[in-house]
Amino acid sequence: MGNQPFTNEYLAKKLLEAKTHFERTVDCKHTEFDDLYPYMVEHPQFFWYKRYVAWSELLTIVNICRDCEFEWTTHFTEAQADYVSKRVMSAKVLDHWFENQPNDSKEHVG
């Protein structure tokens, strides 16, 4: 595999992958993280840790988008973009992440 240029298409793809990964953790859906650490499912703190890892991934991709001057906020609702900009994952973020989204936007999480 050769070097991947940071094109707008590439950044959008990575951003949407990170967003989907985070949204799957909010909905307690299976992610590749479950395959890496299957024994953690037995521990209550697992879901918080899994969400933290996905949130960190999302923030990292957003930082790369900012560095490349890629407009990342258009891929989020206004509230979601605000949560990401504030960088703090809280119960409020988890409780309200899916509010004000178009009805079909959550389908890819299923």
- pLDDT tens readout for residues 39-96: 777 777 788 888 999 999 999 999 999 999 999 999 999 999 999 999 999 989 999 9
Per-residue confidence (pLDDT) for residue 107, from 0 to 100? 46
- pLDDT tens readout for residues 13-35: 999 999 999 999 999 888 887 78
Half-sphere exposure of 97 (CA within 13 A, CB side): 21
CA 30 to chain centre: 14
Say how many C-beta atoms besides its own lie within 10 A of residue 23's C-beta: 21
